[in-house]
Every structure is written in C-alpha cells, then in structure tokens.
Amino acid sequence: MKQLYIDGAWTHGTGLRTWAVTNPATGQHLDDVSVASTEDVDRAVRAARRAFDDGPWPRLDPLARGRMLRQLAERIRSRLEDFAMVDTLNVGKPIRDTRGFDVPCAADLFESYAGLSDKIAGKCYGTLPDNVTMQFREPMGAIAAIVPWNFPLTNAAIKLAPILACGNTVVLKPSEVSPLSALMLAELAHDIGFPPGVINVVHGTGAETGTALVRHPGIDKITFTGRHQTGIQMLEAAKIGMKGVLLELGGKTASVVFPDAPLEQVVNGVITGIFYNLGQVCVAGSRLLVHESQHDDLLDRIVAKAKALRQGDPTDPNNHLGCLATPQHCSTVQRYVEQAQHDGARCVLTGQLPTGAQNCFHPPTIFDRVTSAMTIAREEIFGPVLSVMTFRDEEEAVRIANDCDFGLMGNLWTSDGTRALRVARRLRAGRITINGGGALRPNVPVFGYKLSGIGAELGFDEAVHEYTSSKAVLYSLATEKSPWPE
C-alpha cells in the first residue's frame, strides 16, 4: 500500500482508509493508496507552513535550489521507463506517449525552472533625490497544488517546478484516479534531500481531501487544473484567508482551416489535436471549422486517416490509442455522443462502443453538420469526439470560433501570414497556434480567457508574478525631516 508523504516522511492516513487504484484497460488492481483525512491535510499544511516560515528552503541560495531541481530532472530521466509504465497502467494512455512526451516533458520542466531560481529580480525606483524605493520579489508561502488525471506526472511538474524555483513550499494533491507517479516523484525528492515539508503529497477525493486542503487557513495560494465547475469551488474556498488563485480550466479549441491551408499538414494536425490521449487534453482541438469549398475533401482525408489509427493495449508501443481513464468518464463521453445524434449531427466515423462495466476503449468519433447551438460544440467532452462545422468567409469563421464559453486555445491553418496574425488577434483565446506550432514549452505561458481560467500557467515572468510576493521598501536619504506635525 502507498502512503502519504508529509514532512519528509511516509505515513498512513489517520483514518486508515485506502483507495484502490486500477488499470482502466484491464480492470486489474494496481495498488492501494492511503486516503488523507482532514487531520492528515492539516498535518501536511502545517509541515509546509513550518518549512516556509522556519525552514531553509525560502532562504537557500537560489543556485542551490536550482541544483536540486536539476537533480530531480536527471533522476526522472534515469527512471523514464518506470514513470512511463506507471502512468500508462494508471490511466490507459499509450506507452509511446508517456515515453515520448509525458516523462521527458516533466524532466524538461524541472530543468528549465532550475535556471529561474537565481534570476528572480525586483526593481529600483530612484528618481527622487532624497528617496530610493526598491521592490523585492519574495517567496509567497505554502501553496496548494491540485492536478487532474490526464497527464499525471507532467501536470505535477507544471505545478511543482515554478512553485519550488520561486522558493515556496507545496502540498500536492494528485487526482485520486492517478496518484502513483506523484508518489514516485516524492520518493526522488526525498532521496535527493529536499528539506522536510517542502514537498508534501496527500491523496483522496476532491470533495474530502481537496476541500480540506484549499480551505485550510495555512495555505497562501491555490493552483488548480481541472474542470471549470470545480474551479468555481476553488474561488469560493479562496475567500477563506483571501488566498490567491491560479486556475487552468477547460477548453473547447477551434481549429480554423482557410482555403489556402496545406491540407496534408492540416489532416495530421487535426488528427493529433483531437485523438492524442483520446481527447483527454484541455486544449484538444474538438471543433473543426473548415471553409465550405474544401469541406468534403478535408473530411474524407481526416476520416481515412482516423480509421488507420491503431487502438488497443496501451502497453503496446505499436498502438496509437489506448483507453479513457475511468469507466465513469467513458460513460460520460458516450452520453455526449448520444446527445449529438439526438441533436441532428451526422456521425461519419465511430466504432464499436464499449460495453461492460470496465470497458474504457472508446473509439475515435467524428460528427459532421454540427452547429454552434449543439451541446457537443459548446461543452467540453474531454474525449475523442470531433465536431465539424463550415464557414463562408473570415468574418463568419471568427464569429463561430468565438461563440463559445471557453477560451483556452485556438488553431489557425493558412498560408497567408497577414490573415493568420489578423485572425489570431481577433480570437478570444489565451493561446493561438498557426500551422501546427502548438508544442508545450516551459518558458511559454498558458493563459485562459472566459471560463478557461484565471492567471498564467508556466512562463518565467508569469511564474514569478504568480508565485512570489512583491514588497516595496522606501528608503529616505534626506538628512532633514518634515516638521509636521509641529
């Protein structure tokens, strides 16, 4: 059984309750994890608080902090196969993806932010002859980090790397669905010698463990990635103690294809955008907007290529697609498919839908003749379901793309550079890719418009803004003081 990691030690939850972790591809039991009670969460937050208020981490030479983060990156790389297999078994994503992206990306994040540690700087306002005003950037405090199940290790690294680089301490709550790689990460940090309380990992449901964590008065900031409905709850919890919040929430990415776009590249981009990780990606390109003149040709090509994707055992490196993370989520995706059929969308690609309590292998699904009023065009499905719509001109394309409550990402495909930048400026989304330039990079921030979030994930300047506190110090150089109130 896996334990909680609190204050530099492995410990059972006080309630001695456990959560069974299963392989969604087979239903096989993988392990049990100890569930953190409210008392356990309190222990973890107090440990993070002590480590910040009295411990060495915030006061450590920034270069020393950076060296420890760099060691963590190298340890992750040295255990690439272990991490890749754990996340593959835990959430059913193909081993080719965990090997090729998830684990290397996590290592890169820690290495990249290791270099930020000694480059955090303030300002000096020295324009007055008798006064110097300085702005200092200081570590913020104890941070609550809550991550989803779709990229277990990568999401943990996205949170921990900038939080730790800025000198903070953290209580990490991974999803109850996928806690195993977070525990492995804690093991590496423990072996490297991170001071007790700097990194704490607690497990449990969002309703119990997560609520206790974000409502705890010892937490200075909440950083959360997940559904926008849960993000609203985070805002409510932040009222207790006036905590800061960073929310990276849902998306409904529109991929807009103009007539001059290179169709072969578009096909690959669309297929990757919606079926990578079976669409369990916040920036999944779930809406395809294609000019009516090329609709038939592009759709035929996409359907043909999607049919060639191999789906099956996630541990087989020859398979492109694994399964969805839980049977419950698979049922949710099926309900969206049924709703789309009821609303009148035309299904042009699907497969044998899963049957049975444990079957999570949902096939790639494409709907044509979708309108912006349909549920599948408005709500985040978080599954392998593509909605195809047409437009007549640029104005209509922008209108349809923006007709959505989310604004996390948009994709543009065109050979006209001027139009690409013009439309990019008009789209209401925090991240726009042009002709497939959408890879995650540690130094590039992720912003969310509308229901897609508050604040910025990643980015060096943005990380400093999100995870440090700013202090102004006013230093008088005057030898004579004002006589007031005499």
- The CATH number that applies at residue 128 is 3.40.605.10
Q: First CA to last CA across the chain, in angstroms?
A: 72
Residue 446 domain-assigned (yes or no): no
Q: Are residues 202 and 259 in the same domain?
A: no
Q: Alpha-carbon distance 244 to 236, whole Å?
A: 11
For the stretch 161-175, pLDDT in tens is: 999 999 999 999 999
Q: Alpha-carbon distance 443 to 161, whole Å?
A: 12
Average pLDDT over residues 395-423: 97
Task: Examine the pLDDT at 357 and tell me if it is beyond 60.
Answer: no
Q: Are residues 91 and 68 in the same domain?
A: yes
- pLDDT score at 57: 98
Q: Which of 282, 323, 330, 360 is catalytic?
A: 282
Q: Looking at the 3D structure of the chain, how many domains does it have?
A: 2
Give the confidence band of 383 by pLDDT, cuts at 50, 70, 90. very high
Q: Are residues 197 and 318 in the same domain?
A: no
Q: Alpha-carbon distance 351 to 306, whole Å?
A: 11
Q: Are residues 14 and 137 in the same domain?
A: yes
For the stretch 229-284, pLDDT in tens is: 999 999 999 999 999 999 999 999 999 999 999 998 999 999 999 999 999 999 99
Average pLDDT over residues 42-61: 98
Task: Examine the pLDDT at 75 and tell me if it is beyond 80.
Answer: yes
**Residue whose C-alpha is closest to residue 150's, from 53, 279, 306, 269:** 279
Give the confidence band of 438 by pLDDT, cuts at 50, 70, 90. confident
Q: Which of 111, 248, 380, 466 is catalytic?
A: 248
Residue 261 domain-assigned (yes or no): yes
Q: Are residues 175 and 96 in the same domain?
A: yes
Q: Are residues 196 and 279 in the same domain?
A: no
**Residue whose C-alpha is closest to residue 322's, from 278, 366, 354, 281:** 278
Task: Examine the pLDDT at 356 and tell me if it is beyond 70.
Answer: no
For the stretch 331-346, pLDDT in tens is: 999 999 999 999 999 9
Task: Examine the pLDDT at 208 and tell me if it is beyond 60.
Answer: yes
Q: Are residues 109 and 12 in the same domain?
A: yes
Q: Alpha-carbon distance 186 to 328, whole Å?
A: 29
Q: Are residues 284 and 205 in the same domain?
A: no
Q: Are residues 407 and 462 in the same domain?
A: no
Q: Are residues 193 and 327 in the same domain?
A: no
| CA angle at 120 for the pair 116 and 121, rounded to the nearest 5° | 155
CATH number, domain of 415, equals 3.40.309.10
Return phi, psi of residue 362, to 5°. -80, 135
Residue 188 domain-assigned (yes or no): yes
Averaged confidence pLDDT in the chain = 95
Residue 339 domain-assigned (yes or no): yes
Give the confidence band of 321 by pLDDT, cuts at 50, 70, 90. very high
- Residue ending a domain, among 387, 408, 434, is 434
Residue 229 domain-assigned (yes or no): yes
- pLDDT score at 15: 85
Domain that holds residue 277: 254-434
Residue 425 domain-assigned (yes or no): yes
Percent of the chain scoring above 70 in pLDDT: 99
- pLDDT score at 140: 98
**Residue whose C-alpha is closest to residue 253's, from 242, 238, 269, 237:** 269
Average pLDDT over residues 374-397: 98
Residue 479 domain-assigned (yes or no): no
Q: Is 282 a catalytic residue?
A: yes
- pLDDT score at 351: 85
Distances (CA, A) of 50 to 39, 56, 135, 426: 16, 10, 26, 47
Give the confidence band of 440 by pLDDT, cuts at 50, 70, 90. confident
Amino acid residing at 332: T
How far is Cα of residue 381 from the mean position of the Cα atoms in its chain? 16
The 3 state secondary structure assigned to the chain is: CECEEECCEEECCCCCCEEEEECCCCCCEEEEEECCCHHHHHHHHHHHHHHHHCCCHHHCCHHHHHHHHHHHHHHHHHCHHHHHHHHHHHHCCCHHHHHHHHHHHHHHHHHHHHCCHHHCCCEEECCCCCEEEEEEEEECCEEEEECCCCCHHHHHHHHHHHHHHCCCEEEEECCCCCCHHHHHHHHHHHHHCCCCCCEEECCCCHHHHHHHHHCCCCCCEEEEECCHHHHHHHHHHHCCCCCEEEEECCCCCEEEECCCCCHHHHHHHHHHHHHHHHHCCCCCCCEEEEEHHHHHHHHHHHHHHHHCCCECCCCCCCCCECCCCCHHHHHHHHHHHHHHHHHCCEEEECCCCCCCCCCCCCCCEEEECCCCCCHHHHCCCCCCEEEEEEECCHHHHHHHHHCCCEECCEEEECCCHHHHHHHHHHCCCCCEEECCCCCCCCCCCEECEECCEECEECCHHHHHHHHEEEEEEEEECCCCCCCCCC
Percent of the chain scoring above 90 in pLDDT: 91
Q: Are residues 235 and 267 in the same domain?
A: no
- pLDDT score at 128: 79
Partnered with residue 480 across adjacent β-strands are none
Q: Are residues 380 and 429 in the same domain?
A: yes
pTM: 0.95
Task: Examine the pLDDT at 5 and tell me if it is beyond 60.
Answer: yes
